[in-house]
Structure 1
Amino acid sequence: MFATVILLPFLIFNTNNRSELRSLSKKQWGFGLLSGLFLAAHYVLWFESLQYTSIASSTVIVTLQPLFSMVGGYFLFKERFTKGAIIGCLIAISGSIVIGWQDFQISGEALYGDILAFIAAGVITAYFFISQYVRKDLSLIPYSVISYGSSSLFLGIFAYTQQSSFFNYTAQTWWSFIGLAFIATILGQTIFNWLLKWMSTTVISMSILGETIGTCILAYFILNETISLQQGAGILLIFIGLTLFLLQPYPNKKA
């Protein structure tokens, strides 16, 4: 919701954005609302998974997202990746798995949480595919407002069915909400949506694997956590995989 509020002035006070919003077709509205539904479903599934499994397990499973992207890109957008790109993808994914494997859980309730995380990875990939398709003809701000706004609506409905509180939070929590909206959504998700006009979902998904490297480095400097030999090996694999993937030609599209 906060991300939508932050973006609204850029929609309301920009003539081109307002005009584009008014001229949207039913199909564009439909895909915009559908993207919001997928984004909301991802958040629900992801946070629900953490009730049953560890963050490490969820992180390992989410690293499978590039595989969803490659398969989906092949069938939906006729993208053809080189062998080097596929090998780079697998190397980077294996690096993320190496980092999180020591804390990975796959038994009892954890298995249910792992399944939810797996579905969440597939759902967010579907969201990116919709964004990739819609952004070909729709500007960033109108699309983001529709997507985030509808996502907030769907999440609000879900929260109401769960009898969750909408207002009873501390000032610190409210500031956390605003921080997440600005940093994670505006500076994160919205930048991805902007890039999807020119890049494929697979490229975006692969770049997200770099977050694992950043997390380990920040934990080292900010939280004084040591980087184990296993984590170091995983970071090296991710770096090698990403480098190999990004050095490959942009995915070809079969006519």
Structure 2
Amino acid sequence: MWAIFAILSAIFAALTSILAKIGIEGVNSNLATAIRTIVVVFMAWFMVFITGSQSGIIDINKKSWIFLILSGLATGASWLCYYKALQLGKASKVVPIDKLSIVITIILAFVFLGEQITIKTLIGCTLIVAGTFVMIL
């Protein structure tokens, strides 16, 4: 089931890039990010209430709060940079560079989470980096 959600995530991320590139024409990238964020906040809370998950908020421990807040700050910084990059550059160049986050995530997962890096992972990362350079040149 996780793979289905991952594929849907990729599809929606692709749509996000195209819709954002069209939408930010003539709009300040920070303002565009703020508008997008409001929509995401409403959508997320809508899903919380639809699924009845709101009662779980009191069970979140301090460590989880800290890391969820830090994750939110990282997301905000990522979105602000992404929208500015989309406003200044071509989507076909910005998106491949943005997807280098895959390689960075694998490295960070190794360092902080103790996840293993296999030969297959190294080959995949190498191909992603090489593919990114081919696409942006």
Question: Does the 8 Å CA contact 1:125/1:201 hold for their aligned counterparts?
Answer: no
CA shift in 2, pair 1:146/1:209, >3 Å:
closer
Instruction: Output the CA distance in 1 between the equivalents of 2:36 and 2:118.
Output: 40
- Which letter does structure 1 place at the counterpart of 2:84? W
Alpha-carbon shift at residue 226 of structure 1 (Å): 4.9
Q: Which has the higher contact order (CA 8 A, sep 6+)?
A: 1
Aligned counterparts of 2:68 and 2:112: Cα–Cα separation in 1: 22
2:15 corresponds in structure 1 to 126
Matched, 1:206 2:96: yes
More helix by share: 2
TM-score, normalised by the number of residues in structure 1: 0.47
Report the RMSD for the aligned CA atoms in angstroms.
2.1
**Structure 1: stretches of 5+ with no match in the other structure:** 1-51, 54-113, 248-255
Question: What's the TM-score once normalised by structure 2's chain length?
Answer: 0.82
Question: Partner of 2:54: helix, strand, or coil?
Answer: coil
1:169-228 per-residue CA deviation (whole Å, 9 max, x = no partner) reads 222222222111111x22212210111112233323212331232233334444555532
| Residue 232 of structure 1: aligned partner | 122
Counterpart among 167, 180, 186 of residue 76 in structure 2: 186
Query: For structure 2, which runs of at least 5 residues remain unmatched after alignment?
Result: none
Aligned residues: 135
Going from structure 1 to structure 2, the CA distance change for 1:194 and 1:116 (only over 3 Å counts) comes to same
Q: Is residue 2:104 matched to residue 1:218? A: no
Evaluate the alpha carbon distance shift between residue 214 and residue 161 of structure 1 in structure 2; reply closer, same or farther with a 3 A threshold. Answer: same
Q: Which residue of the other structure, out of 33, 39, 45, is the alignment partner of 1:156? A: 45
Identity over aligned pairs, percent: 16
Indicate how the Cα distance of structure 1 residues 226 and 152 shifts in structure 2: closer, same or farther if over 3 A, else same.
closer
Which residues in structure 2 correspond to 1:67-216 (within 5 Å)? 114-165=3-54, 167-168=57-58, 169-183=60-74, 185-216=75-106
| 8 A contact 2:30–2:84 mirrored in 1 | no
In the alignment, residue 103 of structure 2 is paired with which amino acid? I
